[in-house]
Amino acid sequence: MKNGLPDAIDVVEAKTSKIDAVDFENLVFGNVFTDHMMICDYVNGEWQNPVIKPYGPIELEPSAKVFHYGQAIFEGMKAFKDDQDQVWLFRPEDNFNRFNKSSVRLAIPEFPKEFFFEGLETLLNLDRDWIKKGFGNSLYIRPFVIATESGVSASPSKSYKFMIICSPAKAYYSGEVRVVFAEKFSRAADGGVGYAKAAGNYGAQFYPTNLAKEEGYQQIVWTDANTHEYLEEAGTMNIFFRVGDKLLTAPTSDRILDGVTRKSVITLAEEHGIPVEVRRVKVQEIVEAAEKGELKEIFGAGTAATINPVKGFGHQGKKFELPELEDSYATFFKKELMNIQYNKSEDKYGWRYLVKN
Amino acid sequence: MKNGLPDAIDVVEAKTSKIDAVDFENLVFGNVFTDHMMICDYVNGEWQNPVIKPYGPIELEPSAKVFHYGQAIFEGMKAFKDDQDQVWLFRPEDNFNRFNKSSVRLAIPEFPKEFFFEGLETLLNLDRDWIKKGFGNSLYIRPFVIATESGVSASPSKSYKFMIICSPAKAYYSGEVRVVFAEKFSRAADGGVGYAKAAGNYGAQFYPTNLAKEEGYQQIVWTDANTHEYLEEAGTMNIFFRVGDKLLTAPTSDRILDGVTRKSVITLAEEHGIPVEVRRVKVQEIVEAAEKGELKEIFGAGTAATINPVKGFGHQGKKFELPELEDSYATFFKKELMNIQYNKSEDKYGWRYLVKN
Ligand SMILES: Cc1ncc(COP(=O)(O)O)c(C=O)c1O
Ligand SMILES: Cc1ncc(COP(=O)(O)O)c(C=O)c1O
């Protein structure tokens, strides 16, 4: 042991690889997992003995608290391979910090930074072949923690399991995305857990999203629960509106996730002289801008999709289509971000993180 | 098969019972489980082949959606044994209906009523010895559903696992309970999942409850997320206030669970001529009543605790103690409810449900 770290993470290598059975040209997002996973258990008040071993099922008591009380949080990150076969992460410290911020809100013990990075990098090197070169190819990385203590009383678990699993990805969304602005349902309360990547935030959106799908929308843009007058974020993306040449996005709050992609877009906009206003965005103002032809774009920003252009939106039963643009901001930011992520452009802000081989 | 029911639920009996190792006088709530459990899987669009088998661990993919998206709901019910060794449930249809109401909100397929009751009664008969006679003894029953599909994309699972596990219980709370009225954190949003027994609702309360405990309160009484001006419910109990001889409790809403104990208390109050007002209850009115000495009682109502008297409360840093009463409503309702539950009094409302042997 040095600095509370075991000399090396315990590694049990898979005897055979599943990689040859995978069709990397036709990946469905989040469906296929690499050969290995990282596991670390919290027992007796400590995170102990992280191990990397072959990806496979885990065993839990049916009374494990995660099943009953949703005491679970996660992160979503990506690894990219450049033309020289180097593997890069994008602002991983931000994901790590948010991981522990989410943990605190869910009364889960914070995870040690050394374990996180040491484990993640060892895992990525083991499963390096799963990361394919070429724009759009990436490895989606899912660190998460679940409450494992057996017991059906509603109180924090005394034991937890931290894991990292990885899934090769092409693009998150297929097809065109239209969104509806929430009028009845809501995602998060003031003083709630909306800013955390708490498992329960996501399952709670499935039913309203199913209803939206029946109306022809793939996603919901959530509004504030109190008044439904302000636009906040989508299910797994922050949301930007382009009115004229100005970019608008909601400020983060205890209801809204502080997205890594969102803040990168804001920085890039500032760098490139695109006026960006981070302030509460009224539903009414966006509807009026659409009616006047001033609403040029809506796009989502998130790790899974990077930048996801929105084709149209619905509000109070009315449907609005957005114009096709030659010089779309969405395309611009996506390209800028990917150039940085795939080591094709200068890394002015120190966002790239090399996974040492 | 008849009426979509298998002729009998498949039963695999435990070879040995763990019951002799259990100290029934010193049970910790929700810690020990009986010999058997019920399992039913949802696959290919159908709930199939319910089985009862020895209680034990289950195996899941680390990518199972329950771990990542909290798509999980549960119920809490109790079985009671009377002096003639008959086993009773209390308003189980209400729990069953709420189970499916929660499922709908979490985009989980509804569970068939026949499977639920047939499975539950078979299970209770197998584990009958675990239900002890005597006031206060009961078997806590935990039906739940978890999303089991493998996949880290935020969309409803295609497969689920329904289970019932059972835990012998004495009383839920030990020691005195003081509560604090929420001022900053909140439990549920308008348009959210507060009215459902969604797993994520509970984990989200652990952190604020830990903070409350540091100030000397065991529980939080949640207020409306918008203004924190109205008292709603506690973490696992609905809340009643007695001002003078009048009983006050909040109406149910999409933020508040429609508790079986709560509505039973309201019915009993009406029967016994206790004036009860179901309406929004202002924090300010309760604080003022306490200051004038008119606040006689606060108590929680829920399956686990039945009726849980509250000794005092805190608000904006001020602490209030409640008087010791000779003729407390809490004691009265607890006795009335238990007399019905343990088959000691007439069952005017058809609340008792005999588990046929
Ligand atoms: C609710 C929510 N909002 C926004 C985002 C986008 O955040 P990021 O850019 O860090 O991936 C995500 C996904 O991570 C999310 O789950
Ligand atoms: C949030 C919440 N409120 C109230 C209750 C009380 O409901 P019931 O009386 O049906 O047990 C419970 C427990 O079931 C609960 O979880």
CA-nearest residue for atom 15, ligand 1, is: A236
Smallest-distance ligand from the CA of A199? 1
Q: Which CATH architecture is the domain B178-341 placed in?
A: Alpha-Beta Barrel (3.20)
Smallest-distance ligand from the CA of B252? 2
pLDDT attached to residue A1: 38
Where are the domains positioned within chain A?
Answer: 10-169, 178-341
Q: A-chain residues within 8 Å CB-CB of B197? A: none
Q: B-chain residues within 8 Å CB-CB of A58? A: 59-62
A140 CB within 8 Å of a chain B CB = yes
Q: Inspect the interface and report whether the beta carbons of A104 and B61 lie closer than 8 Å.
A: no
Average pLDDT taken over every residue of chain A:
96
Q: How many pairs of residues across A and B have Cβ atoms under 8 Å apart? A: 236
Quote the pTM value. 0.97
pLDDT attached to residue B3: 43
Closest approach of A250 to chain B, Cα-based (Å): 19
Closest approach of A348 to chain B, Cα-based (Å): 32
Q: Inspect the interface and report whether the beta carbons of A200 and B199 lie closer than 8 Å.
A: yes
- pLDDT tens sequence across A56-110: 999 999 999 999 999 999 999 999 999 999 999 999 999 999 999 999 999 999 9
How far does residue B163's CA lie from ligand 1's centre (Å)? 32
Q: Going by CATH, does the domain composed of B10-169 fall within 3.40.1160.10?
A: no
- Residue B156: which of A65, A200, A210 has the nearest Cβ? A210
* CB A262 less than 6 A from any atom of ligand 1: yes
Q: Is the distance from CB of B99 to CB of B73 less than 8 angstroms?
A: yes
Q: Is the distance from CB of A27 to CB of A170 less than 8 angstroms?
A: yes
Q: B-chain residues within 8 Å CB-CB of A30? A: 63, 151-153
pLDDT attached to residue B2: 40
pLDDT in tens, chain B (357 residues): 344 445 579 999 999 999 999 999 999 999 999 999 999 999 999 999 999 999 999 999 999 999 999 999 999 999 999 999 999 999 999 999 999 999 999 999 999 999 999 999 999 999 999 999 999 999 999 999 999 999 999 999 999 999 999 999 996 656 799 999 999 999 999 999 999 999 999 999 999 999 999 999 999 999 999 999 999 999 999 999 999 999 999 999 999 999 999 999 999 999 999 999 999 999 999 999 999 999 999 999 999 989 999 999 999 999 999 999 999 999 999 999 999 999 999 999 999 999 998
- Mean pLDDT across A150-173: 93
Q: B86: which 2 tokens? A: 């008959």
- Residue B70: which of A76, A187, A202 has the nearest Cβ? A202
- Mean pLDDT across A275-295: 98
B54 CB within 8 Å of a chain A CB = no
Name the burial class of residue A235, with classes exposed (0-12), middle (13-18) and buried (19+) by CB atoms within 10 angstroms of its CB: buried
* CB B233 less than 6 A from any atom of ligand 2: yes
* CB A352 less than 6 A from any atom of ligand 1: no
Average pLDDT taken over every residue of chain B:
96
The residue of chain A nearest to residue B155, with distances taken between CA atoms, is: A206
- pLDDT tens sequence across A205-251: 999 999 999 999 999 999 999 999 999 999 999 999 999 999 999 99
Q: Say if residue A160's pLDDT is above 90.
A: yes
- pLDDT tens sequence across A135-150: 999 999 999 999 999 9
The bridge status of strand A246-249 relative to strand A276-278 is: parallel
How far does residue A261's CA lie from ligand 1's centre (Å)? 8
Closest approach of B108 to chain A, Cα-based (Å): 9
Neighbours of A169 (CB within 10 A): 27
pLDDT attached to residue B8: 73
Which A residues 205-224 touch B at CB under 8 Å? Answer: 205-207, 209-210
Q: Inspect the interface and report whether the beta carbons of A31 and B151 lie closer than 8 Å.
A: yes
**Orientation of helix B92-105 relative to helix A199-214, angle to 10°:** 80
How far does residue B237's CA lie from ligand 2's centre (Å)? 5
pLDDT attached to residue A8: 73
Which A residues 99-128 touch B at CB under 8 Å? Answer: 104-107
Q: Which atom of ligand 1 is nearest to the CA of A264?
A: 9
The bridge status of strand B246-249 relative to strand B276-278 is: parallel
DSSP assigned state of A328: -
B246 CB within 8 Å of a chain A CB = no
pLDDT attached to residue B175: 77
pLDDT attached to residue A175: 76
Half-sphere exposure of A80 (CA within 13 A, CB side): 26
The ipTM is 0.97
Q: What is the CA radius of gyration of chain A?
A: 21
Smallest-distance ligand from the CA of B91? 2
Q: Comparing C-alpha atoms, which of B164, B167, B179 is closest to residue B116?
A: B164
